[in-house]
């Protein structure tokens, strides 16, 4: 237990030079629109920006070159991702395809699936969503009931997904479905890659409390997809999904969602801040520095082929608490009014409203703490 070691974060190449290149590229290419779009920016959709980012080689970086990828090391990608998030770049359109679906198709997909989907993902033009939650299967994901039956013509899908982020602009959904009749819980599930323009799919918006359209309901009414839509091994969907969820928990997006607010607070405070504001900035900076080190170490472990499930959950738990508490703590100390037109006030209001979702998405706080408890040997 003692002497918990940090895994060295050591990407190949000249990292400082790569950072400078990306910062210079962002200075030219990042949209200079509303500053509020820089908060929680991995939910900000901008197709033009995603395409430009892909053309510059910053999407699908870890995919092999033969599929249009960059053949880069996972930690080179990590550096790019943290720079994009710290800058508040609108990466929401291609985010899930780049982070999750692309690597999963590479790992479990057929050659046909790789050739069909990966080049578009690496261009930042093909967007994906994840079909996990259902009305009766939220935190209890193993309760999934959407069925897929294998017929002579292909897989026939019936059921409903919900809280599907980006389904309305995505081209494909990677869905967890019950492929084996009469199966229960984690057994008998499979992953299908579904083109969302297939007949029988209905996508309805759910507007969130911030007034945004991020998530959706997706209905499947006798939807027929080819046999080749199966990803990985039939009946192994649960194992594949659990591995996938582990990958998405420890990235820099778990603590940087509110970074634009911290930067605005520091700028508003000036070089000689009020002592109470200086204290808050100091506390936030200490937490952020610690989280970044933890997240980098976990990424390095993942890149080395280890499975730091518990550490990844620790990053998510602490990171979400940090980015969720920050707006509340900033509001407690600044004099901004709710409707003030300045940047700090507008970022603050947007993040106060967005922040309840931070400890829901990607696994609720309670589920994450349960995973940590299991890692401690308590379950």
Partner 1 sequence: MSAAREMLCDTARAVFAEAAPAGMGPIEEAGFALLLVPEDAGGFGGDWGDVNAVLQIAGVVVPDLPVAELIVNDALQPAATVSLMAGAMGQALALSIEHVNTRQQFGRPLGKFQAVQQSLAVMACEVRAVEAAAAALAARLDAVGLDVAAAEFEIAATKLRANRAVGVVTAIAHQVHGAIGFTREYELSRVTIPLMRWRGAHGNDAYWAQLLGRQVAEFGGKGLWEALTAR
Task: Examine residue 360 and tell whether it contacts partner 1 (CB under 8 A).
Answer: no
Residues 6 or more apart whose CB falls under 8 angstroms from that of 186 comprise 142, 238, 239
Task: Examine residue 6 and tell whether it contacts partner 1 (CB under 8 A).
Answer: yes
Minimum CB–partner distance for residue 189 and partner 1 (Å) = 25
Using CA atoms of 344, 350, 353, 354 in order, give the dihedral in degrees to the nearest 10: -120
Cα angle 365, 145, 152; round to 5? 140
Task: Examine residue 287 and tell whether it contacts partner 1 (CB under 8 A).
Answer: yes
With tokens 């009749």, the residue in question is 181
Instruction: Fill in the per-residue mask, 248 to 277: x = in contact with partner 1 (CB under 8 A), - = not in contact.
Output: -----------x--xxxxxx-xxxxx-x-x
Tell me which stretch binds partner 1 (CB under 8 A): 29-37, 65-73, 172-180, 368-376: 368-376
Residue 114 has, within 13 A of its CA and on its CB side, a CA count of 16
d(CA 130, CA 55): 24
Check: CB of residue 29 under 8 Å from CB of residue 76.
Answer: no
Task: Examine residue 334 and tell whether it contacts partner 1 (CB under 8 A).
Answer: no
Nearer to partner 1, 25 or 169 (CB): 25
Size of the site for partner 1 (CB under 8 A): 57
Task: Examine residue 317 and tell whether it contacts partner 1 (CB under 8 A).
Answer: yes
- Does residue 125 carry a catalytic annotation? no
Minimum CB–partner distance for residue 290 and partner 1 (Å) = 5
Minimum CB–partner distance for residue 316 and partner 1 (Å) = 10
Name which of 314, 257, 263 is nearest 285 in CA terms. 263
Q: Scanning residues 64 to 123, which ones bind partner 1 (CB under 8 A)?
A: 82-83, 86
Applying CB under 8 A, among 36, 106, 122, 288 the residue interacting with partner 1 is 288
With tokens 């707006």, the residue in question is 327
State the CB neighbour count (10 A cutoff) for residue 26: 18
Task: Examine residue 305 and tell whether it contacts partner 1 (CB under 8 A).
Answer: no
Task: Examine residue 28 and tell whether it contacts partner 1 (CB under 8 A).
Answer: no
Residue 208 has, within 13 A of its CA and on its CB side, a CA count of 18
The single residue of 248, 253, 317, 323 carrying the catalytic annotation is 248
Task: Examine residue 311 and tell whether it contacts partner 1 (CB under 8 A).
Answer: yes
d(CA 76, CA 61): 8
Residues 6 or more apart whose CB falls under 8 angstroms from that of 110 comprise 228, 231
With tokens 């895994």, the residue in question is 7
Nearer to partner 1, 311 or 323 (CB): 311
Nearer to partner 1, 203 or 281 (CB): 281
Task: Examine residue 379 and tell whether it contacts partner 1 (CB under 8 A).
Answer: yes
Check: CB of residue 220 under 8 Å from CB of residue 140.
Answer: no
Minimum CB–partner distance for residue 322 and partner 1 (Å) = 10
Task: Examine residue 328 and tell whether it contacts partner 1 (CB under 8 A).
Answer: no
d(CA 353, CA 64): 40
Task: Examine residue 233 and tell whether it contacts partner 1 (CB under 8 A).
Answer: no
Tell me which stretch binds partner 1 (CB under 8 A): 52-60, 138-146, 162-170, 289-297: 289-297
Cα angle 160, 161, 167; round to 5? 125
Q: Which residues bind partner 1 (CB under 8 A)?
A: 1-6, 16, 19, 82-83, 86, 259, 262-267, 269-273, 275, 277-283, 285-294, 297, 311, 314, 317-318, 366, 368-370, 372-373, 375-379
């Amino acid at each position: 237990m003692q002497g918990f070691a940090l895994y060295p974060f050591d990407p190949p190449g000249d990292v400082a030079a790569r950072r400078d290149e990306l910062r210079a590229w962002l200075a030219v290419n990042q949209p200079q629109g509303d500053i509020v779009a820089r908060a929680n920016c991995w939910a900000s959709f901008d197709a033009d920006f995603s395409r430009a980012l892909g053309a510059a080689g910053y999407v699908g970086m870890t995919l092999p070159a033969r599929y249009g990828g960059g053949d880069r090391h996972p930690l080179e990608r990590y550096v790019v991702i943290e720079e994009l998030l710290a800058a508040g770049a609108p990466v929401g359109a291609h985010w899930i395809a780049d982070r999750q679906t692309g690597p999963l198709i590479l790992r479990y997909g057929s050659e046909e699936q790789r050739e069909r989907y990966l080049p578009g993902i690496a261009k930042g033009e093909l967007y994906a969503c994840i079909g996990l939650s259902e009305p009766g299967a939220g935190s209890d994901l193993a309760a999934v009931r959407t069925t897929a039956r294998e017929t002579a013509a292909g897989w026939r899908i019936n059921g409903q997904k919900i809280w599907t982020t980006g389904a309305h602009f995505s081209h494909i959904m990677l869905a967890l479905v019950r492929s084996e009749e009469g199966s229960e819980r984690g057994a008998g599930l499979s992953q299908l890659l579904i083109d969302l323009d297939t007949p029988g799919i209905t996508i309805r918006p759910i507007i969130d409390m911030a007034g945004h359209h991020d998530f959706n309901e997706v209905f499947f009414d006798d939807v027929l997809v080819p046999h080749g839509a199966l990803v990985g091994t039939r009946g192994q969907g649960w194992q594949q999904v659990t591995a996938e969820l582990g990958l998405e928990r420890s990235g820099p997006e778990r603590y940087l969602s509110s970074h634009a607010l911290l930067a605005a607070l520091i700028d508003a405070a000036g070089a000689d801040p009020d002592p109470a504001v200086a204290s808050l900035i100091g506390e936030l900076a200490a937490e952020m520095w610690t989280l970044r080190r933890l997240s980098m170490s976990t990424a390095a472990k993942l890149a080395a082929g280890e499975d730091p499930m518990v550490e990844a959950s620790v990053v998510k738990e602490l990171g979400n608490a940090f980015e969720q508490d920050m707006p509340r703590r900033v509001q407690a100390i600044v004099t901004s009014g709710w409707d003030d037109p300045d940047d700090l006030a507008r970022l603050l209001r947007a993040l106060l409203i967005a922040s309840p979702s931070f400890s829901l998405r990607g696994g609720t706080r309670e589920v994450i703490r349960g995973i940590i408890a299991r890692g401690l040997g308590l379950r």
